Chains A and B, each alone.
Chain A
Amino acid sequence: MNPKDDSLPALGQAIAAAQDEGLRHWQSRHPPARAEFLMRATATLGQRRRRWRRRFQWGVPLLVIATVIMVWVAVGRDGPRPLSFEIEGQGPGAPQAWIAAPAGELVPLEFSDGSRVVLEPRSRARVLQLRANGARVALEDGAAEVNVEPRDGNWWIVDAGPYRVEVLGTAFRVGWNADDEVFSLALQHGRVRVLGPELAEPRFVSSGERLDIGASRVAPVAGADDEIRPKAALEDVGVVEPPDSPSRADLAEERRPSRFVRRGWKALAEDGAFEEALNAADAAGFDRLCKTLGADELIALADVARYAHAPSKARRVLLELRRRFSGRDEAAMAAFDLGRLSTSNCREARRWFGVYLKERPRGRMAPLARRRIEECSP
Chain B
Amino acid sequence: MGRVRRYFRAHGMALTRTRRDPDRASLIARLKRGERKAQGEFFDAYVGMVERVLFRLLGPDVELSDMVQDVFIQALRSVRSFRGDEGGLESWLRSVAIRTALKRVRWRKARSWLGHASPDAVLELSATSDPVTQTALARAFEVLDRLPSGERAVFVLRFVEGMQLQEVAQACAISLATVKRRIDRARSRFQRWAQQDALLAEWMRARLGDES
Contact = CB atoms under 8 A, between A and B. Distances in A.
Interface in A27-83: 27, 30, 32-34, 36-38, 40-42, 44-45, 49
A37 to B, nearest CB: 5
A10 interface: yes
Please classify how large the interface on chain A is, using the bins under 10, 10 to 19, 20 to 34, 35 or more. Answer: 35 or more
B209 A7 contact: yes
A179 B188 CA distance: 13
A299 B111 contact: yes
A40 B67 CA distance: 13
A216 B209 contact: no
A3 B129 contact: no
Interface stretch (A17-25, A110-118, A348-356): A17-25
Contact of B106 (A98, A178, A215): A215
B89 to A, nearest CB: 17
| Majority secondary structure of chain B interface residues (helix, strand, loop or mixed) | helix
Contact of A216 (B105, B141, B187, B207): B105
Interface in B117-149: 120-121, 124-125, 127-129, 133, 137, 140-141, 146-149
A33 B110 contact: no
Contacts of B182: 178-179
A14 B208 CA distance: 9
The 10 closest A-B pairs by CB, nearest first: A12-B159, A7-B208, A22-B125, A216-B109, A3-B204, A10-B208, A12-B160, A4-B209, A32-B47, A23-B55
Interface of A: 1-5, 7-16, 18-19, 21-23, 25-27, 30, 32-34, 36-38, 40-42, 44-45, 49, 98, 100, 124, 140-141, 162, 178-181, 197, 215-219, 221, 223, 225, 227, 266, 269-270, 272, 274, 299-300, 303, 306-307, 364-365, 368
Interface of B: 34, 36, 39-40, 43-44, 47, 51-52, 55-56, 59-60, 62-65, 68-69, 72-73, 76-77, 103, 105-106, 109-113, 120-121, 124-125, 127-129, 133, 137, 140-141, 146-151, 156, 158-162, 174-175, 177-178, 182, 185, 187-196, 201, 204-205, 207-209, 211
